[in-house]
């Protein structure tokens, strides 16, 4: 499980997270909602260890392992996966090559044996089929020339291959049409298991129709101001964040 206690962080000297307490038990999917600038993306980058996101206090552990003291790649090997809001293009790097390199890096980190090209291809094809994606996905450069929807699907494909114990989806729904949204949601739902937890960061309730969360947290001005069940998301959709702010 993911346990965050009293987490504070700043970006370029400006405090963004002002004391986050959050627990996502293994097997659960939690949503984090909040208006722009509330600190949602900062929280995901802090957990993944991005440079420039300075932790000033508190702790974050995954299955009892301290995340904050580790390099980003060590966190990845420990089971943290971040689905990017804006997946990055790597010109000239083939997607299959990238995926296999990543998978083997993580398998090495876990002390598992690496997959050769044939073993990898077999696994990748199986995942592609589950996700109803075309094999062309493997032949192209990493995210180069991908539409917004294709980039997000590629994130889901990576997640399905890497099998993290914690997936953080940073506004994965932004820029997706309804079909792509369903594919993303199906991908996450397919991973649901007793040893898998997910933090779904979203601005809108729409995605949560397809990925039904166990809990919804509202993040505002760097703090979690309200926690509830899936109905909280619907309530926010109807009355907006202003109502929460008033209540808080």
Partner 1 sequence: MPAVAETLDTVQSVTEGTYKWGFETEIEMDFAPKGLNEDTVRFISAEKKEPEWLLEWRLKAFATWQKMQEPRWPAVKYPPIDYQDAYYYAAPKKKDGPKSLDEVDPELLKTYAKLGIPLKEQAILAGVEGAGDSPSEGGRMPIAVDAVFDSVSVATSYKERLAKDGIIFCAISEAVQEHPELVKQYLGTVVPPGDNFYAALNSAVFTDGSFVYIPKGVRCPMELSTYFRINAKSTGQFERTLIIADEGAIVSYLEGCTAPMRDENQLHAAVVELVALDDAQIKYSTVQNWYPGDAEGRGGIYNFVTKRAQCRGKRSKVSWTQVETGSAITWKYPSCVLLGDDSVGEFYSVAITNNHQQADTGTKMIHVGKRTTSTIVSKGISAGKGQNTYRGLVRVAPTASGARNFTQCDSLLIGDQCGAHTVPYIENRNMSAKVEHEATTSRIAEDQLFYCRQRGLSEEDAVGLIVNGFCREVLKELPMEFAVEAQKLLQISLEGSVG
Strand partners, 120: none
**Residue 92 interacts with partner 1 (CB under 8 A)?**
yes
* Options 23, 73, 130, 135; binder of partner 1; rule CB under 8 A: 73
* Options 97, 174, 221, 245; binder of partner 1; rule CB under 8 A: 97
CB-nearer residue toward partner 1: 93 or 225: 93
* Options 100, 127, 153, 215; binder of partner 1; rule CB under 8 A: 100
Q: Residue 194 and residue 27: Cα distance in Å, rounded? A: 4
* Options 26, 68, 90, 190; binder of partner 1; rule CB under 8 A: 90
Q: Which one, of 153, 148, 150, lies nearest residue 184 by Cα?
A: 153
Site for partner 1 in 133-172 (CB under 8 A): 141-142, 158, 162
Q: Residue 90 and residue 116: Cα distance in Å, rounded? A: 22
* Options 64, 88, 242, 246; binder of partner 1; rule CB under 8 A: 88
| Location of structure tokens 């993306």 | 41
**Residue 58 interacts with partner 1 (CB under 8 A)?**
no
**Residue 182 interacts with partner 1 (CB under 8 A)?**
no
**Residue 76 interacts with partner 1 (CB under 8 A)?**
yes
CB-nearer residue toward partner 1: 34 or 87: 87
- Taking the complex as a whole, the smallest distance from the CB of residue 233 to partner 1 amounts, in Å, to 27
Strand partners, 10: 15, 54
**Residue 101 interacts with partner 1 (CB under 8 A)?**
yes
CB-nearer residue toward partner 1: 64 or 91: 91
Phi then psi for 236, rounded to 5 degrees?
A: -65, -40
* CB contact burial 8-24 (16+ within 10 A = b; e otherwise): bbbbeeeebbbebebeb
Q: Residue 188 and residue 200: Cα distance in Å, rounded? A: 10
CB-nearer residue toward partner 1: 64 or 92: 92
| Location of structure tokens 């689905």 | 83
Number of residues that bind partner 1 (CB under 8 A): 41
Identify the three-state secondary structure at position 145. coil
Furthest C-alpha separation in the chain: 57
Evaluate whether 225 touches 219 at the Cβ level (below 8 Å). Answer: yes
- Taking the complex as a whole, the smallest distance from the CB of residue 170 to partner 1 amounts, in Å, to 11
Q: Residue 53 and residue 155: Cα distance in Å, rounded? A: 22
**Residue 117 interacts with partner 1 (CB under 8 A)?**
yes
**Residue 12 interacts with partner 1 (CB under 8 A)?**
no
Identify the three-state secondary structure at position 187. helix
* CB contact burial 46-58 (16+ within 10 A = b; e otherwise): bbbbeeebebeeb
Which chain residues interact with partner 1 by CB under 8 A?
A: 48-52, 71-73, 75-77, 80-82, 84, 87-94, 96-98, 100-106, 109, 114, 116-117, 141-142, 158, 162
């Amino acid at each position: 499980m993911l346990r965050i206690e009293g987490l504070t962080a700043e970006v370029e000297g400006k405090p963004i997270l002002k004391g986050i307490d959050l627990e996502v038990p293994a097997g659960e999917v939690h949503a984090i909602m909040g208006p722009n600038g509330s600190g949602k993306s900062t929280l995901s980058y802090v957990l993944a260890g991005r440079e420039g996101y300075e932790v000033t206090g508190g702790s974050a552990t995954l299955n009892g392992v301290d995340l904050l003291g580790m390099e980003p790649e060590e966190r990845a090997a420990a089971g943290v996966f971040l689905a990017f809001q804006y997946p990055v293009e790597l010109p000239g790097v083939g997607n299959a090559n990238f995926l296999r390199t990543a998978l083997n890096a993580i398998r090495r980190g876990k002390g598992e044996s690496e997959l050769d090209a044939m073993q990898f291809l077999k696994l990748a094809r199986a995942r592609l089929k589950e996700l109803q994606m075309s094999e062309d996905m493997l032949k192209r450069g990493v995210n180069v020339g991908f539409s917004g929807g294709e980039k997000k699907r590629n994130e889901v494909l990576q997640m399905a291959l890497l099998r993290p114990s914690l997936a953080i989806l940073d506004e994965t729904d932004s820029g997706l049409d309804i079909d792509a949204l369903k594919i993303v949601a199906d991908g996450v739902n397919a991973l649901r298991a007793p040893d898998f937890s997910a933090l779904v960061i979203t601005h809108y309730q729409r995605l949560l129709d397809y990925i039904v969360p166990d809990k919804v947290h509202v993040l505002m001005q760097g703090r979690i101001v309200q926690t509830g069940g899936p109905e909280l998301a619907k309530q926010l959709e109807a009355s907006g964040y202003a109502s929460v702010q008033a209540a808080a």
